[in-house]
Amino acid sequence: MQKTKGVYQVNGENRDIDYKFVRGLEIYRTGKAFEDAGHEVYTIEKEEGVEIIGKKGRTLTINYRIDDVSLAHFDALLLPGGFSPDLLREDDRFVEFTKAFMDDKKTVFAICHGQQLLISAKSLAGREATGYKSIIVDLENAGAKFRDEEIVVCQNQLVTSRTPADMLAFNRVSLNLLGK
């Protein structure tokens, strides 16, 4: 079986030296789970080669610039939470990339605030989803059918989760959907 190439969209822009925008737990644990299952995992940002420092001090090096990738390069998209999705959705390139995955029926995983990119991509109308408490109204306003559950799988394409506390279940369900 060919393994899925996963991709993260992250934002390491650091407007305040003491404040980190990357929710490291969602990137590192989920990325490790995907890699341990044999999947290739890549990161996308505005610039490649940039080193991102997460909230807990872990580092991550960006593999690709958003301008250098296309939908054809990847089988799945992971949208981690934290402040990153809110910052990325200011950039139409990231919103369009996310929308392309949904429109092409490729697998998309979003945890915590990752759904904000799906909201901006206008890809949640009529879909079941969950998310972090502070974006429930945003999800509903985007037309999503909000469910307050650990994990919500919609049409075997979209996996959403509420918080890092749900991460083990999120990883398990995500990997099962990918066929491990």
Interstrand relation of 64-65 and 76-79 (parallel, antiparallel or unpaired): unpaired
Look-up of token digits 């306003």 = 141
The yes-or-no answer on residue 154 being catalytic is no
CA dist 66 and 42 (Å) reads 12
The yes-or-no answer on residue 113 being catalytic is yes
Q: Which of 39, 73, 113, 154 is catalytic?
A: 113
Q: Which of 26, 35, 22 is nearest to 88 (CA)?
A: 22
Q: What is the DSSP string of 44-66?
A: EESSTTPEEE-TTS-EEE--EEG
Q: Which of 39, 73, 112, 154 is catalytic?
A: 112
Contact call for residues 92 and 148 (beta carbons, < 8 A): no
CA angle 45, 86, 64 (to 5 degrees): 10
Contact call for residues 160 and 110 (beta carbons, < 8 A): yes
According to DSSP, the residues that pair with 76 across neighbouring strands are: 107
> Which residue numbers are catalytic?
112-113
